[in-house]
């Protein structure tokens, strides 16, 4: 078995109305989140952010455009017990790099790893997402509506 690397990205997507895209995980219907994913060996966090947005939403952004903003924020948190078997046995902490990007509300979202998605106002998104690091990123990096 190949273990996951304990390094990941969190990419919060929001639209021109400051609504946040949240997605429901296939493996846990109570777990809603922004785009997340493991950084592959030899991959930079920003490259992983672009790749994960494309893989999870079907929205392909170009690294040359600079659409995804590095928030210069890194989280470390304990890996969920339910997911520990996916990681090396002696690793219990994940390091998560935070990014944000604005996409149009009419972007075509194609889910590959989630069963549903919604555009939610900030307070609703904060109440819906499961992880504290996701809530903190929404609070800190999604602008207030104009």
pLDDT digits (tens, 9 = 90+) for 2-60: 999 999 999 999 999 999 999 999 988 899 999 999 999 999 999 999 999 999 999 99
Q: Is 52 annotated as a binding residue?
A: yes
Q: Is 120 helix (H, G, I), strand (E, B) or coil?
A: strand
For all residues of the chain together, what is the average pLDDT? 95
- What pLDDT is recorded for position 27? 86
CATH number for 7-141: choose from 3.40.50.720, 3.30.460.30, 3.40.50.1220, 3.90.79.10. 3.90.79.10
pTM above 0.85, yes or no: yes
Q: Is 81 annotated as a binding residue?
A: no
Q: Is 108 annotated as a binding residue?
A: no
Whole-number Å distance between alpha carbons of 37 and 86: 13
**DSSP designation for 123:** H
Q: Is 131 annotated as a binding residue?
A: yes
- What pLDDT is recorded for position 49? 98
Q: Which of 57, 60, 42 is nearest to 110 (CA)?
A: 57
Q: Is 57 annotated as a binding residue?
A: no
Q: Is 112 annotated as a binding residue?
A: no
Contact 32, 129 (CB under 8 A): yes
Contact 6, 28 (CB under 8 A): no
Q: Is 113 annotated as a binding residue?
A: yes
Cα separation of the two ends of the chain: 49
* pLDDT of residue 65 exceeding 90: no
């Amino acid at each position: 078995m190949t273990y996951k690397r304990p390094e990941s990205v969190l990419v919060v997507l929001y639209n021109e109305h400051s609504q946040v895209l949240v997605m429901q995980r296939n493996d846990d219907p109570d777990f809603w989140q922004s785009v997340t994913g493991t950084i592959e060996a030899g991959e930079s966090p920003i490259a992983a952010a672009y790749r994960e947005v494309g893989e999870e939403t079907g929205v392909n952004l170009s690294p040359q455009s600079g659409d995804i903003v590095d928030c210069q924020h890194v989280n470390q948190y304990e890996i969920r017990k339910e997911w520990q078997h996916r990681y090396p046995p002696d690793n219990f902490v994940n390091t998560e790099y935070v990014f944000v990007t604005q996409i149009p509300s009419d972007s075509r979202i194609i889910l590959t790893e989630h069963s549903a998605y919604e555009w939610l106002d900030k307070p609703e998104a904060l109440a819906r997402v499961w992880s504290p690091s996701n809530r903190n990123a929404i609070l800190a990096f999604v602008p207030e509506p104009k």
